[in-house]
Structure 1
């Protein structure tokens, strides 16, 4: 008996016309193999065989109740988002409106203040003009009632001339000449001034000339200076 028959294997002759096969290339029928299993990586040394990855399983379709719950949750989330966005928009509108209102109120207040300033200026000008006109009437009345006032004006004008001045001349209206000669005699004598009549000078006025300058105490000049202190340019002669 051959070694092949000892192990229970039958020799199967090669097909006719083929080359004789070696012992390592002999075809083994399935009925001679007994129990066997396909070789897999890791099957040696008792290693566990790797598991094949499971195919993904599609999640189950939501039930109608779950769909309703999702829709309700989405509506609630949308409501909250819309409410939040609405509050943000409302706050922005409030700030914009407040800024615009403040600007408009500020413009109105500034315009009102400017109008008040103009009104104050107009009132002040009217008051000053009225006061100057009243003062002019009072002064004219005083000159008519007490013409001797010109003597005091002449004395003050002569005393204001520099002490070093020479050739002092005092000119007054012819009707005021005797009043000044009597009322300002002491001042005229002390400064050696000459008193002259001048028809070009209005009653109540005095013009003092010297070698160092002149003092214009005529009514119109004195009036202009007094009115300017009150911020008025009203002339001594009223406008018709």
Structure 2
């Protein structure tokens, strides 16, 4: 027996695929593609950062403008109220001056009117008669007059006392009493009919009227 082993092999056809030249990708091409991707990503990152920075800048700028605008409004408001306050203070000063002028004018007018009436119409006798009626019922009466008025009624003072219904009346002269005025003292009260007192009453009434008008 022979020691030789015979192998029966069938031949098979082997096909090899060879790509075209354009389809062959080299290592250099892959590097270029990676580079392009990186550049594209970097570009997108830059654009994102730019947009983010732009938006942050816009928000910050808007905030600063709003704060500045608010500060300007606050400043203008303070200036406006300061001007109003100044006008109000000036108005009060003018108003006070106006009141003083009105009162002084009224006082002068009252003085002239009272003096004119005394010179033209009213006598000291009539003044005494009008004011003695205010203390009817008094027993102890002292009438103070200007020396000139006292001289006028010196001869007729008893008739004045009787006509008023009093029995005990004393007359005294006083340089502090203006002509046409009198001061009547009694145990039930005092009648101040001095010219100065009458004018003060008129001025006081005018002041009260001005105050009431301010409140309204």
TM-score normalised per structure 2? 0.63
Distance 1:108 1:187, change over 3 A: farther
Q: Which residue of 2 aligns with 1:216?
A: 192
Query: Is residue 192 of structure 2 the alignment partner of residue 230 of structure 1?
Result: no
Rounded Cα–Cα distance in structure 2 between residues aligned with 1:80 and 1:101: 31
Larger radius of gyration: 1
Task: Determine if the alignment matches structure 1 residue 146 to structure 2 residue 156.
Answer: no
Report which of the two has the higher share of helix.
2
Residues 93, 187 of structure 1: alpha-carbon distance in 2 compared, 3 angstrom cutoff: farther
Higher relative contact order (CA 8 A, sep 6+): 2
Unaligned runs of 5+ in 2: 1-33, 209-216
Q: Which residue of 2 aligns with 1:109?
A: 84
The aligned length equals: 170
For structure 1, the residue ranges without an aligned partner over 5 or more in a row are 1-59, 233-240
1:83 aligns with 2:47: no
- Cα RMSD after superposing both structures: 3.2
- The answer on 1:129 being equivalent to 2:98 is no
Measure how far apart 1:219 and its partner are. Answer: 1.8
Alignment of 1:1-240 (within 5 A): 60-61=34-35, 62-148=37-123, 150-161=124-135, 163=137, 165-172=138-145, 173-174=149-150, 176-177=152-153, 185=160, 188-192=163-167, 194=169, 196=171, 198=173, 200=175, 201-231=177-207
Distance 1:91 1:80 in 2: 16
**Any conservation in 1 of the 2:107–2:199 contact (CA below 8 Å)?**
no
TM-score, scaled to structure 1: 0.58
Query: Contact 1:207–1:216 at 8 Å: present in 2 too?
Result: yes
